[in-house]
Amino acid sequence: MRILLAEDDLIIADGLGRALKKAGYAVDHVPNGADADAALLGQSFDLLILDLGLPRLSGIEVLRRLRARKCAMPVLILTAQDGIEDRVRGLDAGADDYLTKPFALPELEARVRALTRRGTGQARCIEFARLSYDQADRVVKIDGQVVDLSAREVGLLEVLLLRAGRLVSKEQLVDHLCGWGEEVSNNAIEVYVHRLRKKLEHSGVQIVTVRGLGYCLEKPDVVA
């Protein structure tokens, strides 16, 4: 899952970005509204975390432009403007949720999980063969037993599960797993896939390599 964080307070942006990356999200940061609008025009994200008091272009204007383009991307407003009128204005402009500063990080992470889950149109728990994945808690189980996966392995599996039975290219995996400035090579993706395969070998699913194209998550009974 890829998140755009539009926040002009660099301390908040750094701390929040680190926490979300640790949780397995790819996070891109912009410090002003003009850059946020440009990023949203040119790239695809799963969630926008938006400060209202942005320089160069207000958060409300960024949100209005996003919705005017008929983009249904989930938006979480994160701002110090905590008046009722401010909340109503933000929600009326098209925000999906609203959190005021200061905030508790666990609550923000829970709201992020809820919004990204809603944005995919998927249920909280995805089941595939003997594998289950709880999107809210980001927990993977095989036959009810928790599987020890790294945050990046969970992110990789999530992308494959959401596209089960369909081809996912290495470039798509990099786009979903990595933020701007993160150097992740195709070889690194191969390493993550190899590790994930080993951990899922008793799950009843298989990560099939389509040479030169990418990967596909399938059940053994449909694997050639």
Digit-coded pLDDT (tens) for 73-112: 999 999 887 778 888 888 899 999 999 988 999 999 989 9
Same domain, 165 and 108: no
With contact defined as beta carbons under 8 Å apart, do 39 and 30 qualify? yes
Same domain, 6 and 115: yes
- Higher pLDDT: 208 or 84? It is 208
Same domain, 90 and 140: no
Crossing angle of helices 186-199 and 151-162, rounded to 10°? 90
| pLDDT of 210 over the 70 cut | yes
CA distance 151 to 192: 11
> Looking at residue 223, what is its pLDDT?
43
Domain range holding 39? 2-120
pTM (whole model) above 0.95: no
- The alpha helices in the chain, defined as continuous H runs, are 10-22, 33-42, 59-68, 84-92, 105-120, 151-162, 170-177, 186-199
Position 208 confidence tier, pLDDT thresholds 50, 70, 90:
very high
pLDDT in tens, 44-82: 898 999 999 999 999 999 999 999 999 999 999 998 877
Total domains in the chain come to 2
Position 121 confidence tier, pLDDT thresholds 50, 70, 90:
low
Same domain, 28 and 116: yes
Last-in-domain residue among 120, 151, 175 = 120
Last-in-domain residue among 90, 120, 150 = 120
> Looking at residue 180, what is its pLDDT?
66
Q: What is the CATH number of the domain that holds 132?
A: 1.10.10.10
Same domain, 97 and 152: no
